[in-house]
Structure 1
Amino acid sequence: MKLPEEFLNRMKALLEETEYEDFIKALSGPRSYGLRVNTLKIPVGEFERITEFSLKPVPWSNDGFYYKEDDSPGKHPHYYAGLYYIQEPSAMLPATVLNAQPGERVLDLCAAPGGKTVKIAADMQGKGLIVANDVNPDRARALVKNIELFGIRNAIVTVEKPERLALKFENYFDRILVDAPCSGEGMFRKDEEAGRSWDKYKSDKCSLIQKEILNHAASMLRPGGFIVYSTCTFAPEENEQQIAGFVKEHRDFYICDINMKNVSGLDRGRPDWCGGFAGIEETIRLWPHKIEGEGHYVALIGRKEISRGSVAASETVKKEYAEGSAISTFNKWDTGNKVKNDFIGKDAFLAFMNENLNIKIEGYFQRHGDNLYCLPVKAPDLTGLKVAKFGWYLGSYKGNLFEPSHSLVTALKMDDFKRSINFSSKSLQILKYLKGETLMIDGDTGLWAVCVDGHTAGWGKQMGGTLKNLYPKGWRKMR
């Protein structure tokens, strides 16, 4: 692998000779592979019990593991059931440090493809609100798919520039993750194209964009809240210098200690790379020559409380947006301007639930055109924003009938359905199902939840001993 000469010269100037040699050697060595268990669907211990992979814990993640390359977890039926997200081990740190809590309002500002959003959602346990944003429509589509695959019920997806979100969400969020666009030097070992395109995206260009994003994030954070800033690059201009400059300009923000001193291999931010700025040593660097991973930088920044009154106000917000404040089904039916007759919509959805589910779906409902969405909390005002997903997408209306979505089945458990069929992950039937083939099974006519090892994977429709395959065509297993 050929690395950019300018990059090599800079790193040689920054690192002592021995460390530089170790760093370059690591970039020439084998990469690490990781997956994070989706605890929305399965506890870590249960996954360890049923998995066929040889796993080793990632030290800075309570649900992350290294796997061997030849395990190929992206081809396993458990992946199609949303039991784990495949993620580079270093990239697991930012959302872990964010430490999102149930009932909070959380913004993932540069969210695609969604790995960090999935972790945030698992930590929030379906309570509170996530706004996951990406400015790129193509990347936002991948974000929506991952949110639906992994059974997330409390996320809105926007496709906006940070400055437009800032106009709508001033002082709104409890926590914000800024996994900033960067020069991607931590991708060199993983992706040779990153090295070839480095000159196009190098630090002097990225640092200006990062500063602008951080400034907009700051305006959206409530007093007493926290921002995690992260990059997958090694350049001080995008890391220590970025954070030092931000805190100098924003006197109501401060650098927080990331309490991971007992985790082996984690390095501290380097004050000597940003003029000796106090507090930078509380940030974290992951280096490929010190840990099993590609490398990352993570900073935790807090915003000071304005007064005791603001503390009380923030606690009120948390109570207001806890799941317990969402009332029972259809007591809050927000149809917006596009729906002329919500009674027909309610009746059809209630009929679907009575026919197919053992539970009642509760929350705040919105109908946008023919599509029905639900959130555990009341949705914020999204007027004027580009929205790719208004919450948990439940399905769509075809005339007077309600047709459930794939994301409805993936967010529920096998026992939530009146009719379900469970296949072993080793069975030929589940492989046929994931490839879109028709299955022959006996049972009652109607919709069935198709499951793998007790976890929902998709819908099938039983008619006359044949299970029509309703697994989405674009999601099917190709080999």
Structure 2
Amino acid sequence: MENLLCKGVTMNLPKEFEEKMKTLLGSEYEEYTACYDEPRHYGLRVNTAKISVEDFLKIAPWPLEPVPWIENGFYYDGDHIQPSKHPYYFAGLYYLQEPSAMTPASRLPVEPGDRVLDVCAAPGGKATELGAKLQGTGVLAANDLSSSRAKGLLKNLELFGIGNVLVLSEEPGKLVSYFEGYFDKILIDAPCSGEGMFRKDKKMVKAWEEHGPSFFSKIQKSIITQAAQMLRPGGMLLYSTCTFSPEENEQTIEYLLQEYPEFQICEMEGYEGFVNGMPQVTENRNDELKKTVRIFPHRMKGEGHFLALLQKGEAHPALPSGIDTGKQKRLPEELTSFLSHVHREFLPSRMELRGDKVYYMPAGLPSIRGIRFLRTGLLLGELKKNRFEPSQAFAMNLKMEEYDQILNLPVGDERVIKYLKGDTLDVEDLVSPKEKGWYLVCVDGYPLGFGKLVDQMLKNKYLPGWRWNG
């Protein structure tokens, strides 16, 4: 073990890792080890599906510094502020994410209407950005093998207001028969040995000693070849890890190119701190591997990462994202009555009733009978006796101007926190005695959830599992 001083604490690095990094970095090795004595970097990524970067900066409650290679990414002082304890977080206006980890989703060129798969998606840092890029169109399939982690993923997607989703919890190999050649874009943020996170989380060193690069390399090769089969001809795949290991990085890409020679490595939008991939660490020394990207923490303000962008064969026009058959369904009167307050078109042919729950489905989904999923489409709400109760997910998916019964509170109003804690609100100053029904509660124009207005009191319908605990 080599002892390094990390924020005043002695940190032990495995000798094997130390030797590998000396080989990779050569004369830069001492610069790399010196970064362990520097503080970690905290990042915040703006949800451009809800607010523009320009508008967010006008209302941001704290000083922010741009992450120079991420258009909607910012550094914040994580030692002194807690952005997760602010109403704007509960409005889904941003996601807290380590700056380097913002890079993979930023470099996958997702366009509105695309069919997109995030293979290993929990807790949602990449999936929420991919969903924001889709702008409510196409479909985002977000998968995580762990059902408990997939629940956290679903919450983050709902918080971000992303409704065109399919949240799965399956072995990637099982998805192939359902989605062969289906997706336009695929992101694999692969399980890895985590060497790039040693500075951020010292527990990763112990995990590395238990399961090192060879263990993860087998998993990565399996996942990337399975994903290759689910990508349409001309589609694009972004592979990333948070490790430095050649076995998990360039050698995994080399393996994919051997198994699927139709793939080619693409150039990525650059940044001065990026380091070219290293063909010299592979068997074939393919010069094209220089187009992959390594992120080292001594070169830029972020943790370690690796990225490779690939295209499957020649570029082809994307397939239609799904053709609506126009088949009409008779919707329950309670649902129709509620939707009369919503200023957005919902096609009856894409409505799906399962039991007492109502979902609005993305267009063009194949049958998924037989695979484990947590959510298909946007959960609009629940049919109850003589009434329809809208869901938390529906509230987050709406924009304030799309609903005609609004309670818009300024961020400094004490009722904002009371609402987020689940309290009943006195809103006598905001509504007349005759007003009643479902109201969308907003903070500074951004939805938080629903409430039921009765006698100028708002009965709180904020989802219990999401409530403010501070």
**Normalised by the size of structure 2, how large is the TM-score?**
0.93
Structure 1 residue 279: deviation in Å? 0.7
Structure-2 separation of matches of 1:169 and 1:445: 46
Structure-2 separation of matches of 1:327 and 1:63: 37
Name the % identity. 44
Structure-2 separation of matches of 1:221 and 1:473: 39
What do residues 102-157 of structure 1 show as CA deviations (whole Å, max 9, x unaligned)? 11111111111111111111111111111111111011000110111110021111
* Partner residue of 1:59 out of 68, 71, 83: 68
* Partner residue of 1:121 out of 125, 128, 131: 131
Structure-1 separation of matches of 2:328 and 2:155: 27
1:274 maps to 2:260: no
Structure 1 residue 429: deviation in Å? 1.4
Gap change, CA 1:3 and 1:427, over 3 Å in 2: farther
1:210 maps to 2:220: yes
What do residues 235-271 of structure 1 show as CA deviations (whole Å, max 9, x unaligned)? 11100111112112211111111131xx221111111
Correspondence 1:290-369 to 2 at 5 A:
290-305=299-314, 311=316, 314-315=317-318, 317-318=319-320, 320-321=321-322, 325-326=323-324, 331-333=327-329, 343=330, 345-354=331-340, 356-362=341-347, 364-369=350-355
Structure 1 residue 350: deviation in Å? 0.6
1:221 maps to 2:231: yes
1:472 maps to 2:463: yes
* Partner residue of 1:414 out of 392, 400, 410: 400
Q: Residue 179 of structure 2 corresponds to which residue in structure 1?
A: 169
- Write the letter of the residue equivalent to 2:299: K
Q: Residue 422 of structure 2 corresponds to which residue in structure 1?
A: 436
- Write the letter of the residue equivalent to 2:48: T
Correspondence 1:381-420 to 2 at 5 A:
381-420=367-406
- Write the letter of the residue equivalent to 2:258: K
Structure 1 residue 274: deviation in Å? 1.4
SS, match of residue 366 in structure 2: coil
Structure 2 unaligned segments of length 5 or more: list them. Answer: 1-10
Q: Residue 295 of structure 2 corresponds to which residue in structure 1?
A: 286
Q: Residue 373 of structure 1 corresponds to which residue in structure 2?
A: 359
Structure 1 residue 193: deviation in Å? 1.6
Q: Which structure shows the bigger proportion of residues in helix conformation?
A: 1
Gap change, CA 1:390 and 1:52, over 3 Å in 2: same
Structure 1 unaligned segments of length 5 or more: list them. Answer: 334-342
CA contact (8 A) 2:143 2:150 kept: yes
What is the CA RMSD across the aligned residues, in angstroms?
1.7
Structure-2 separation of matches of 1:381 and 1:19: 52
**Normalised by the size of structure 1, how large is the TM-score?**
0.91
1:12 maps to 2:3: no
Structure-1 separation of matches of 2:30 and 2:47: 37
Structure 1 residue 376: deviation in Å? 4.1
CA contact (8 A) 1:131 1:157 kept: yes
Structure 1 residue 393: deviation in Å? 1.0
CA contact (8 A) 2:403 2:440 kept: yes
SS, match of residue 279 in structure 1: helix
CA contact (8 A) 1:182 1:201 kept: no
CA contact (8 A) 2:273 2:300 kept: yes
- Write the letter of the residue equivalent to 2:296: W
SS, match of residue 195 in structure 1: helix
CA contact (8 A) 2:359 2:380 kept: yes
Structure-1 separation of matches of 2:152 and 2:131: 16
Gap change, CA 1:419 and 1:163, over 3 Å in 2: same
Structure 1 residue 401: deviation in Å? 2.9
Structure 1 residue 60: deviation in Å? 1.9
Structure-1 separation of matches of 2:324 and 2:12: 55
- Write the letter of the residue equivalent to 1:247: L
SS, match of residue 94 in structure 1: helix
